[in-house]
Amino acid sequence: MAARPAWRGQIRLALVAIPVEIYPATKSGASIAFHQIHEPSGKRVKYEKVVPGIGPVDTDEIIKGFEVAKGEYVLLEPEEIESVKLESRRTLELTQFVDLADIDAIYYDKPYFVVPADDLAEEAFIVLRDALRAAKKIGVGQLAMRGQEYVVSLKPCGKGMVLETLRYLDEVNKASSYFREIGDAEPDPDLLELAGTLIAKKAGTFDASEFHNRYVDALRGLIEEKRRKKGELVIQDPDDGGSAKGSNVIDLMAALKKSLGGADEEVPAKKPVAKARAAPAKKASVKTAPVKPAPARRRA
């Protein structure tokens, strides 16, 4: 069965309109889904839509409402929501062309593949794709999809293009509020050089096939083991590698050299830098009792 497009419309560039279809470029990865179970009966817990004082209600009796005051709602029918018209409902108008580096990666949300809607649209589609590639630019605009309006970027990708929805400014937290406690100290040049050498040593081309979800694999192993043991409690051995936040300060220079050299010896813990020595405490004066002379020995 052919995939259904997530959106059909046209890309508008000045007076040129290119009919296109977009399809989700990603899918849900491997995951383990758990259900809530009533332990005494072994049955799954279900949920019902309940109105206080009335009880369970039919879904046909439920409509959307926006709370304007405590307990006071403006009710909206589906037709009323659908009737809200947006100029970008079926049109993506490219209003800006920017460098890829101009958009911080934190703004990117979800990618979609973009293809021409038919053979007639293919020529204009290819022209736009190759023009973006030659200019090393990405197009930016807005479109409405599934009841929301998105800011999107458009860039070449192989024989097609990729559209990515972007987060709005108010959806991104300001980094300064999280980074303000980080100091302004300059790194040690030798440490910086070693770290750069390590990065260069491990540099390569990203290959997504080299990574897999080890947590999901471990959960599947645990579930299979519990099936074999017919429901007995199975507790995995705790990690013997120690806490990630150890009390010892690792000698960064030694650790970087070990990473580069592949040495097997343990990285020594760095001795903590001693703070200003406190003045030695004065010894308390001890009063001694006078020593009594020993009694003279009697002569026989």
pLDDT confidence tier of residue 45, bands split at 50, 70 and 90: very high
Q: What is the CATH number of the domain that holds 91?
A: 2.40.290.10
User: Does some domain include residue 132?
Assistant: yes
User: Does some domain include residue 237?
Assistant: no
Neighbours of 231 (CB within 10 A): 7
User: Does some domain include residue 73?
Assistant: no
137 or 244, which is more confident = 137
User: Does some domain include residue 139?
Assistant: yes
Share of the chain above pLDDT 70, in %: 80
Residue 176, amino acid: S
pLDDT in tens, 264-289: 444 455 555 444 444 445 444 444 44
Residue 88, amino acid: S
pTM of the model: 0.66
pLDDT in tens, 74-124: 988 888 877 776 655 688 989 999 998 999 999 999 999 999 999 999 999
Q: What is the pLDDT of residue 228?
A: 84
Provide the mean pLDDT of the chain: 81
Q: Which residue's entry shows tokens 């997504």? A: 208
User: Does some domain include residue 211?
Assistant: no
Residue 25, amino acid: A
Residue 79, amino acid: E
Domain count within the chain: 1
Nearest of 55, 49, 53, 80 to residue 65 by alpha carbon: 80
Q: What is the pLDDT of residue 147?
A: 74
User: Does some domain include residue 106?
Assistant: yes
Contact indicator for 108, 166 with CB cutoff of 8 Å = yes
279 or 251, which is more confident = 251
* Helix 252-261 / helix 189-201 crossing angle, nearest 10 deg: 30
pLDDT in tens, 159-212: 999 999 999 999 999 988 899 889 888 988 888 888 888 888 888 887 778 777
User: Does some domain include residue 98?
Assistant: yes
Nearest of 5, 9, 4 to residue 143 by alpha carbon: 9
**119 lies in which domain range?**
7-27+85-170
Both tokens assigned to 159? 């024989």
User: Does some domain include residue 94?
Assistant: yes
